[in-house]
Structure 1
Amino acid sequence: MNNWIIKIAFCQIFLFAMISQGSLVAQSNAKWKVNDVLQPPSALHLEGYVADRLNGSLENRILVQNINDLIKPFKLEHRTETTFWQSEFWGKWFTSAILAYKYHPDAGLKQLLDEAATGLLATQAADGYIGNYAQANHLQQWDIWGRKYCMLGLLAYYDLSRDKKMLIGAIRIADHLISELNAQGGIIVTKGNYKGMAASSVLEPICLLYSYTNDVKYLDFAKEIVRQWERSDGPQLLSKSIIKVSERFPKPKNWYSAEQGQKAYEMMSCYEGLLELYRLTGNDAYKQVVVNSWENIRNTEINIAGSGASTEMWFGGKEVQAFPIHHYQETCVSVTWLKLNNQLLRLTGESRYADEAERTYYNAILGSMSANGAAWAKYTPLNGQRLPGSGQCGMDLNCCEASGPRGLFNFPFHIVMGRREGLQINFFVQGTYQLESPLGQRLKVIQSTDYPKSGSINVELDMDKPEAFEIGIRIPEWSKVNKLTVNGGDVVDVKNGELIRIKRIWKREDKISLELDMRGRLIESGNGVRSFAIMRGPIVLARDSRFEGVGLEAILEPVTDQQGYVPLKELPGNPTEYFMRFEAGFIPESYTETPAGPVTISLCDYASAGNGHNNSFYKVWMPQLINPKSNGSFHP
């Protein structure tokens, strides 16, 4: 224990010394020092389950948004805010809509984007300010946070359209922000709540702005933000990266306040910005800080469904996830964790980030969205009900409803990606993906699969000329038994949790087939009180009161085979009520001398649980009877 404390102290001193001496700062003003390992496809077309979810969100959430409602808070007569965060909603919806348009170009959506961007720019003050705060309250509370989302939206539209008005608008916001900060002493980490994390997450668009303009003042500002993190009143996101995110600061007297240092969403947003600064500077310590914190969050916070946080803060929640938890699993947290994983995935190509992103997407993200895509839950428990979030800030919208589609539409561009050596298949979704081969020829990748209903994936190539390159295929960590073939011939040494690289001369109609292990797996909670859950592939399964004659509070012990897996019988689908449904055998609790025989219970996928026409109750974690004879086994 003492050695570990010494190790933490040494690492803190080492990181802080590097920052103080400027050794983390690149001297060159070149735009990019580090390029992503993976590049998104130039075009894609999805089919099946994921496509249905995306289309539902596009039609019932994104396209129906009233643009005037989003722009209204920015107008001069409404710049009276002193406390709230109305100014984030435009940017969240807009960046979601940009991703949706890239996924599925639509004339109606393009018109909405034009109206929304032009309408926002029309509110820009002569000094460059876009926001809704009263002049005397600039830089306070959520003001800088809102400016961040405006810049992210304008820069995303500039990237799509190359309309220089969008870039100029973002430049003017940034210049005005820097000017206002300098006029008040230049300290950003004392502005707003959460140790300055909300305000200083503006790091992300500032880095992007430098990449578009090559104006060194933005790179200098980005470095200054990161330097200020290490102030005694800052979030210390660098030096505390090896400390548990829930233990970096004492519990505050006021939960939602400047002294709160465990705010999950804002912390990860800062780390997203730090990855952008790493790309610009090439300073490995920046990347290592994010990787340290990612491992910390994964190991101590992220639950079986791929999310976490209670009342929006890290709290060491992984260990106690089987218990009822107040305001659990905020959708904004789920979205940002997904985005952080996919940032690290495209930066490094490492399959562990895809493993986490897949779990989050199929469970926490899809589970927080209503079946038709129109509404999003603000909090989504593992045991309980799914309920839509209520309006915030006097608007008929809340932060999670605005943010949910950002995660939903982030995922498709990471399914099949290009890389210098060829291409990489990270996720398994029916569809076609347009890429460019290492020699520059058109390359189409066609996935045929109903995954995650089954573990069967078939991939076919469409290309004009044979070419030698490498195809990387992620084998999920949870898949213990796998079969991978190319044109019917076995690929040997296929290990779970790894990226399998196949290098050969590929030609049109070459076929790759993969069979993954979809047996039901028992997952035990780690809190000392026996509870279990069941996963199948990346999917968490749940009991649902729609299907059960036995009450959800009944204690059931799973029936397993000799290898410890749960036999699951798939039942016919009902797309209006659930995606997947299975039957499994359980031994019910018994208070008689002779235990009762097994009973059959229905389970459905977590995203469908409690998500039908009626607000049913559902349960992921199932407690087990304490039995001193069991010696740690599920079976007495």
Structure 2
Amino acid sequence: MSAFTLTALNSAKLNGYLGEKLALCLERRIKAEDVDGLVEPFRHREERRLWHTEFWGKWMLAAVPAYEYSGDKALYEQIRSSTQAMIATQSADGYIGNYPDDGRLQGWDIWGRKYTLLGLMGYYDLSKEPQVLQAACRLADLCIKELGPGAEVNIAKTGMHHGMASCSILEPFMRLYRRTREERYLEMARHIVACIEGPDGPQLIKKGLAGVPVAERFPLPEKWWSWYNGQKSYEMMSCYQGMLEMYEELGEERLLRVCDRIAKDIIATEINIAGSGASCECWYYGKKWQTEPAIHMQETCVTVTWMKFCQTLLRLTGDVVYAEELEKTTYNAFLASLNPDVSSFSKYCPLEGIRGAGVGQCGLEINCCIANGPRGFFMLPEAAIMSNAEELAVNLYEDLQARVTLKDGLEVAIAITGNYPVNNKVQIAVTPSATATWALLLRIPAWSALTAVTINGAAVENVNAGSYCRIARAWQAGDVVELVFDFSCRVAELNRCLALQRGPLVLARDTRFNDGAIDAAVLAPGEQPLELVSAPAAAAAAGVWQAFTTKLVNDLNAEGPAGGPQEVHFCDYASAGNTWSAASRYRVWLRKGLRVAIGDHLR
């Protein structure tokens, strides 16, 4: 049912820039968390509307794969002890949460149960301790009693956002079915889908297959944060993620078809140049409006959920589009959400302005995005290299080492070097355990107009942008593949604004370079393509990862030489604003000035 298999986290190691940030996140965010503080709300049953109970499960969704990746024994103990503490809060009827008996099913109660189930199953997968799975089953059985077939309450009428928050519990029910093979969990999953598609539900399948844009699923609500808001992006994608789990188990093609269609609709209408979207956490035709500031743009929870959706669709469909999206989001929106020392994540991450920390939620120092952000890192080693019996696909070109197993037990080690995307040349050392014939799939980025591929120095033909270059041959130890990507400056234009890109990176102006007003309109001189010149000294001085200069007219009122092209600095968008202070205002989309003399005003 899937095109590829993910690489096991203990069989992959990121060695480049992403690997450095991942390691810092592991130490400074995941292991530094006060996990007992996340369990504490479960010891009290006083809540009626807030979402304290998502935080522990979100932490677990990063901590468990972080342990699988690193083997860190101290982290394992944090996971183990917090899971035991969580199970200790379980009521006799199976409930784990912080809502009183007469407040259950209200607010974010079911949403929190979803994350608790996912966290419990994460630890069960590590430990195989039967009491952990038993605790998950007891909580799930309570949900069936309260919300399942024959219950008085329709799950789609509970919680927030036309029931999408509650109905996203579909995902852990499918995971629980896969682990237990108990039919009642599959029956509950089918019931949830029926409620989603019912007259009171968000009708995600019906509207998706009918082509209803995600920004127009329901009329604008009178009260934004309510059940009546049906454009909530994070919760909507979470429900579709559950449908992908269901497709993988049951093979119902309509579920894959609708998720694929919705993802491509989101790409076409919502995902911005940095690889994320949403305003006030809702779809809003963000792709066409991205040049305009919007309230609370690009929530990190949306970014990470989009990454997971793309990773899953890539694995199931083998469609290279999702690898493209995963790379774009990773190097731009995701990395941009990190604070300077990688100990936290921003809540929102606009395309211009000043970045900063979000406020704590639910009376705690943590918020949803700080809890959810780390999860994004551990999708990357799994997705960088994927495989099936006959093929090995390279999706990301981060420096890395990975090992996968193909047909007949053939082990293949892959080592990627080149310091991508600082440099545009990548070497891939291929080391199979024996000489054998299989296919290597190289993702050729859509943005690389001209990509050169060689094997042991011999040129490879049929290298096409936006596709996999499939090389089927007898591979042997010592084979080396080299790729040279086109890192020419690309100029994106929208709504009389322009933005610069280099390789997978979006670029931004930043006030730290002190080279003119970043909000000023600009003009690209002449008809020749812009040339980006690497500026490592400027990058070091400003405290950014990568910096470049190019020539732009950036003072439309100046006369003489000052009115001509001037050297203007740009940095990678992820580094722009990374002081989280007014010292580093930044801007991606630059207004284009009018050239009246050549008739711009008449076009």
TM-score by length of 2: 0.96
- Name the CA shift for 1:559/1:440 in 2 (closer, same or farther; >3 Å): farther
CA separation in 2, counterparts of 1:617 and 1:300?
27
- Name the CA shift for 1:440/1:248 in 2 (closer, same or farther; >3 Å): same
Please name the residue that 1:139 is paired with: 105
Match of 2:36 among 59, 68, 76: 68
Aligned partners of 1:60 and 1:373 also within 8 Å: yes
Shift of 1:375: 1.4
Aligned partners of 1:461 and 1:507 also within 8 Å: yes
Please name the residue that 1:240 is paired with: 207
Please name the residue that 1:618 is paired with: 586
Please name the residue that 2:388 is paired with: 419
AA in 2 matched with 1:119: A
Match of 1:431 among 392, 396, 400: 400
Match of 1:177 among 127, 132, 143: 143
Shift of 1:146: 0.3
- Name the CA shift for 1:357/1:633 in 2 (closer, same or farther; >3 Å): farther
Q: Give matches, 1:276-355, under 5 Å.
A: 276-355=245-324
Please name the residue that 1:148 is paired with: 114
Instruction: State which drifts further: 568-577 or 235-244.
Output: 568-577
Shift of 1:581: 0.6
- Name the CA shift for 1:302/1:560 in 2 (closer, same or farther; >3 Å): farther
Shift of 1:614: 4.8
- 3-state SS in 1 of match to 2:548: strand
Please name the residue that 1:110 is paired with: 76
Q: Give matches, 1:37-436, under 5 Å.
A: 37-41=4-8, 43-75=11-43, 78-182=44-148, 184-241=151-208, 242-436=211-405
AA in 1 matched with 2:144: I
Cα deviation code 1:126-184 (max 9, x no counterpart): 11111011111111110000000011111112222222222111111100111122575
CA separation in 2, counterparts of 1:622 and 1:68?
46
Shift of 1:591: 2.9
AA in 1 matched with 2:31: L
CA separation in 1, counterparts of 2:565 and 2:369?
41
Please name the residue that 1:490 is paired with: 459
Cα deviation code 1:459-501 (max 9, x no counterpart): 0122332111111110011110110011111110100000111
CA separation in 2, counterparts of 1:169 and 1:631?
70
2:508 is aligned with 1:508: no
- 3-state SS in 1 of match to 2:60: helix
CA separation in 2, counterparts of 1:164 and 1:559?
68
Please name the residue that 1:481 is paired with: 450
- 3-state SS in 1 of match to 2:214: coil
CA separation in 2, counterparts of 1:74 and 1:288?
38
- Name the CA shift for 1:357/1:632 in 2 (closer, same or farther; >3 Å): farther
CA separation in 2, counterparts of 1:49 and 1:554?
32
CA separation in 1, counterparts of 2:177 and 2:119?
16
CA separation in 2, counterparts of 1:575 and 1:156?
43
Shift of 1:454: 1.4
Aligned partners of 2:233 and 2:282 also within 8 Å: yes
CA separation in 2, counterparts of 1:319 and 1:613?
27
Aligned partners of 2:354 and 2:581 also within 8 Å: no
AA in 1 matched with 2:532: P
CA separation in 2, counterparts of 1:262 and 1:597?
46
CA separation in 2, counterparts of 1:38 and 1:58?
25
- 3-state SS in 2 of match to 1:435: strand
AA in 1 matched with 2:114: K
TM-score by length of 1: 0.91
Aligned partners of 1:577 and 1:613 also within 8 Å: no
Match of 2:564 among 586, 589, 597: 597
Shift of 1:632: 5.4
CA separation in 1, counterparts of 2:46 and 2:559?
71
Instruction: State which drifts further: 418-427 or 335-344.
Output: 418-427
CA separation in 2, counterparts of 1:621 and 1:348?
33
- 3-state SS in 1 of match to 2:198: coil
CA separation in 1, counterparts of 2:596 and 2:68?
58
Cα deviation code 1:492-520 (max 9, x no counterpart): 01000001111111111110000111111
Aligned partners of 1:367 and 1:607 also within 8 Å: yes
Q: Give structure 2 stretches of 5+ with no counterpart.
A: none
CA separation in 2, counterparts of 1:185 and 1:590?
67
- Name the CA shift for 1:258/1:613 in 2 (closer, same or farther; >3 Å): closer
Please name the residue that 1:554 is paired with: 520
Cα deviation code 1:602-625 (max 9, x no counterpart): 110011001037541000010012
Report the identity percentage.
40
Shift of 1:84: 0.1
AA in 2 matched with 1:97: A
Shift of 1:38: 2.7
CA separation in 1, counterparts of 2:299 and 2:6?
29
AA in 2 matched with 1:305: A
CA separation in 2, counterparts of 1:496 and 1:35?
24
Please name the residue that 1:22 is paired with: none
- 3-state SS in 2 of match to 1:240: helix
- 3-state SS in 2 of match to 1:535: strand
Aligned partners of 2:533 and 2:550 also within 8 Å: yes
- Name the CA shift for 1:592/1:54 in 2 (closer, same or farther; >3 Å): closer
CA separation in 2, counterparts of 1:73 and 1:373?
26
Aligned partners of 2:506 and 2:573 also within 8 Å: yes
- Name the CA shift for 1:575/1:511 in 2 (closer, same or farther; >3 Å): farther
- 3-state SS in 2 of match to 1:443: strand
Shift of 1:594: 5.7
Cα deviation code 1:16-42 (max 9, x no counterpart): xxxxxxxxxxxxxxxxxx245233245
CA separation in 2, counterparts of 1:466 and 1:165?
46
- 3-state SS in 1 of match to 2:550: strand
Please name the residue that 2:533 is paired with: 568
AA in 2 matched with 1:598: P
- 3-state SS in 2 of match to 1:155: helix
Cα deviation code 1:257-305 (max 9, x no counterpart): 1111100000000010000111111111111111111111111111000
Aligned partners of 1:521 and 1:566 also within 8 Å: no
CA separation in 2, counterparts of 1:375 and 1:576?
21
Please name the residue that 2:432 is paired with: 463
Q: CA RMSD in A?
A: 1.8
